[in-house]
Structure 1
Amino acid sequence: MKKTDTFTRRAFIGGTVVTGLGLTLNLISCEKSTETPEPPQPDPTTSGNENTLNITDVSLPSNIDVSKGMELTITGKGFAMGDQVIFDPLIAGYPRAAIDVSRVSAESVVIVLAEQLVTSGYRVSVKRGSRTVTLGQTALNFVFNASIPDKDGMTIKGTVFADGVGLANVVVSDGFEVTATDENGIYYLPSAKKTKYVFVSIPGNYEVATDINAPLFFNRLRQPEETVETHDFELTPVNNNKHVVMVLGDMHLANRNNDISQFQTGFLTDVNQSIQKYKNAGNKVYALTLGDMSWDTYWLLTNYGLPDYLREMNKINAPVFNTMGNHDNNPSHTDDWISEDKFREVIGPTYYSFNIGKVHYIVLDNIEFKENNGARAYSPRIVSDQLEWLKKDLATVTDKTTPIVIAMHVQLISNLSLNGSGQESRVFRLQESQLFVNALSGFTDVNILSGHVHANYNVRLSPSIMEHNTGAVCATWWWTGRDGHAGNHICKDGTPGGYAIWEMEDRQLKWTYKSIGYEEDYQFRAYDLNKVHLTEDKYVPLHNPSTTGVSWNTYAGEYVNLNQNNEILINVWNYDTDWTVEVTENGVSLPITRVHVTDPLHIISYSAQRMNRNAAPTGAFVSIPTAHMFKVQASSPTSTVEIKVTDCFGRIFQESMVRPKEIHTQMK
Structure 2
Amino acid sequence: MNKKQMNTGLVVFICCVLVAIGVTLHLRKHDMLPIIHKVVDNTTATLVADTVKKKKPVVKRDFNISGSLKDTEGNGVAGVIVSDGFKCVKTDSRGRYKMKRDSLARFIYFSVPAEFEVPTHSATDRTACFYQAVSNKKKIYDFTLRRLPGGKETSYKMIVIGDPQVTNAYSPYYTSPDDNPIKKSDVERFTTQTMADIKQTIKSLPAGTPVYGLSMGDDVQYYGGYNPQLERQIRQALGSSEMRLFSVIGNHDQDGKALYRRKWEENFGPTDFSFDRGDVHYVCINNCFFHRGMSYYSPGELRERQVKWLKQNLALTPKDKKVVLCYHIPFTFGNAPFSKAKPLTNANEEGHYSSSRLSLLLSLLKQFKGGYELFCGHTHFACNHEINYEGEDVMEHCHAAACGNIWQSNINICGTPNGYYVYSFVGTSISNCYYKGTFWDKSKQMTIFRAQTDFNGEKYAKDWQLANNRNILVANVFNATSHWRVVAIEDGKEYLMRRISSKGQDAFAAGYHHKYSESVSYRFVSKGNGYLIMNHLYYYVPKNPNAKITIKASDPYGHTFTASSSDAVAEPFANYAHYYEREYKEYKKQKDCMLRDSAVTKQKDTIAAKSVNN
TM-score by shorter chain over 0.5: yes
Task: State the partner residue of 2:323.
Answer: 404
Contact 2:80 2:113 (C-alpha < 8 Å) held by counterparts: yes
Shift, 1:589, TM fit: 3.0
Instruction: State the SS of the aligned residue for 1:166.
Output: coil
C-alpha distance in structure 2 between counterparts of 1:377 and 1:425, whole Å: 20
Of the candidates 441, 451, 469, which is equivalent to residue 377 of structure 2?
451
Task: State the partner residue of 2:279.
Answer: 358
Shift, 1:205, TM fit: 2.1
C-alpha distance in structure 2 between counterparts of 1:464 and 1:576, whole Å: 13
Shift, 1:632, TM fit: 1.1
Shift, 1:154, TM fit: 3.7
Task: State the partner residue of 2:421.
Answer: 500
C-alpha distance in structure 2 between counterparts of 1:176 and 1:470, whole Å: 28
Task: State the partner residue of 1:658.
Answer: 566
* TM-score normalised over the length of structure 1: 0.65
Shift, 1:377, TM fit: 4.2
| Pairing of 1:83-98 with structure 2 (within 5 A) | none
Task: Find out whether 1:608 has 2:515 as its counterpart.
Answer: yes
Of the candidates 250, 269, 272, which is equivalent to residue 199 of structure 2?
272
Task: Find out whether 1:202 has 2:112 as its counterpart.
Answer: yes
C-alpha distance in structure 2 between counterparts of 1:162 and 1:331, whole Å: 41
| Pairing of 1:42-441 with structure 2 (within 5 A) | 154-211=64-121, 212-223=125-136, 228-239=139-150, 240-255=153-168, 256-257=170-171, 258=184, 259-278=186-205, 280-300=206-226, 305-329=230-254, 331-333=256-258, 340-370=261-291, 372=293, 375-378=294-297, 380-399=300-319, 401-414=320-333, 427-441=352-366
Deviations 1:603-655, CA, capped at 9 Å, x for gaps: 23211224xx9x98343344645121111100223211121111111211112
Contact 1:640 1:659 (C-alpha < 8 Å) held by counterparts: no
Instruction: State the SS of the aligned residue for 1:504.
Output: strand
Task: State the partner residue of 1:594.
Answer: 499
C-alpha distance in structure 2 between counterparts of 1:397 and 1:245, whole Å: 21
C-alpha distance in structure 1 between counterparts of 2:288 and 2:566, whole Å: 46
Deviations 1:197-220, CA, capped at 9 Å, x for gaps: 111111112114322212221111
Shift, 1:567, TM fit: 1.0
C-alpha distance in structure 1 between counterparts of 2:466 and 2:308, whole Å: 53
C-alpha distance in structure 2 between counterparts of 1:192 and 1:661, whole Å: 57
Query: Which runs of 5 or more structure 2 residues have no equivalent in the other structure?
Result: 1-61, 172-183, 336-343, 577-614
Change (3 A) 1:468 1:327: same
Aligned length: 476
- Matched letter for residue 439 of structure 2: G
- Matched letter for residue 174 of structure 1: D
C-alpha distance in structure 2 between counterparts of 1:660 and 1:260, whole Å: 32
Shift, 1:307, TM fit: 2.1
Contact 2:84 2:107 (C-alpha < 8 Å) held by counterparts: yes
C-alpha distance in structure 1 between counterparts of 2:76 and 2:440, whole Å: 46
Deviations 1:478-518, CA, capped at 9 Å, x for gaps: 111xxxxxxxx110111111111111122231322111111
Query: Which runs of 5 or more structure 1 residues have no equivalent in the other structure?
Result: 1-151, 481-488, 540-551
Q: 200-209 or 490-499: which moved more?
A: 200-209
Q: 569-578 or 313-322: which moved more?
A: 313-322
- Matched letter for residue 474 of structure 1: C
Contact 2:129 2:268 (C-alpha < 8 Å) held by counterparts: no
C-alpha distance in structure 2 between counterparts of 1:174 and 1:579, whole Å: 42
Change (3 A) 1:183 1:561: closer
- Matched letter for residue 639 of structure 1: A
Shift, 1:666, TM fit: 4.7
C-alpha distance in structure 1 between counterparts of 2:133 and 2:93, whole Å: 25
Identity percentage over the alignment?
Answer: 23
Contact 1:249 1:499 (C-alpha < 8 Å) held by counterparts: yes
Change (3 A) 1:424 1:303: closer
C-alpha distance in structure 1 between counterparts of 2:354 and 2:547, whole Å: 43
C-alpha distance in structure 1 between counterparts of 2:520 and 2:127, whole Å: 40
C-alpha distance in structure 2 between counterparts of 1:208 and 1:589, whole Å: 48
C-alpha distance in structure 1 between counterparts of 2:545 and 2:225, whole Å: 52
Shift, 1:523, TM fit: 1.2
Contact 2:323 2:365 (C-alpha < 8 Å) held by counterparts: no
Change (3 A) 1:395 1:461: farther
Instruction: State the SS of the aligned residue for 1:455.
Output: coil
Task: State the partner residue of 2:437.
Answer: 515
- Matched letter for residue 407 of structure 1: C
Contact 1:296 1:330 (C-alpha < 8 Å) held by counterparts: no
C-alpha distance in structure 2 between counterparts of 1:420 and 1:193, whole Å: 43
C-alpha distance in structure 1 between counterparts of 2:385 and 2:467, whole Å: 33
Contact 2:128 2:268 (C-alpha < 8 Å) held by counterparts: no
| Pairing of 1:618-657 with structure 2 (within 5 A) | 618-622=522-526, 624-657=532-565
Of the candidates 535, 559, 578, which is equivalent to residue 483 of structure 2?
578
Task: State the partner residue of 2:398.
Answer: 469
C-alpha distance in structure 1 between counterparts of 2:76 and 2:433, whole Å: 35
Q: 563-572 or 284-293: which moved more?
A: 563-572
Contact 1:251 1:474 (C-alpha < 8 Å) held by counterparts: yes
Contact 2:187 2:233 (C-alpha < 8 Å) held by counterparts: no
Shift, 1:313, TM fit: 2.3
Compute the RMSD of aligned alpha carbons: 3.2
Shift, 1:572, TM fit: 1.2
Instruction: State the SS of the aligned residue for 1:590.
Output: strand
C-alpha distance in structure 2 between counterparts of 1:660 and 1:577, whole Å: 24
Of the candidates 445, 461, 473, which is equivalent to residue 568 of structure 1?
473
Change (3 A) 1:660 1:315: closer
| Pairing of 1:543-554 with structure 2 (within 5 A) | none
Instruction: State the SS of the aligned residue for 1:404.
Output: strand
Instruction: State the SS of the aligned residue for 2:132.
Output: strand
Q: More relative contact order in 1 or in 2 (CA 8 Å, sep 6+)?
A: 2
C-alpha distance in structure 1 between counterparts of 2:228 and 2:126, whole Å: 24
C-alpha distance in structure 1 between counterparts of 2:163 and 2:197, whole Å: 16
Contact 2:156 2:424 (C-alpha < 8 Å) held by counterparts: yes
Change (3 A) 1:261 1:643: same
C-alpha distance in structure 2 between counterparts of 1:581 and 1:555, whole Å: 18
Shift, 1:243, TM fit: 1.2
C-alpha distance in structure 2 between counterparts of 1:496 and 1:181, whole Å: 45
Instruction: State the SS of the aligned residue for 1:246.
Output: strand
Instruction: State the SS of the aligned residue for 1:466.
Output: strand
Q: Which has the higher strand share?
A: 1
Compare CA radii of gyration and give the structure with the larger one: 2
Q: Which has the higher helix share?
A: 2
C-alpha distance in structure 1 between counterparts of 2:488 and 2:460, whole Å: 29
Change (3 A) 1:601 1:318: same
Deviations 1:123-171, CA, capped at 9 Å, x for gaps: xxxxxxxxxxxxxxxxxxxxxxxxxxxxx98423223334221111111
Of the candidates 504, 521, 524, which is equivalent to residue 617 of structure 1?
521
Deviations 1:163-211, CA, capped at 9 Å, x for gaps: 2211111111111221111111111122124222111111112114322
Change (3 A) 1:179 1:289: same
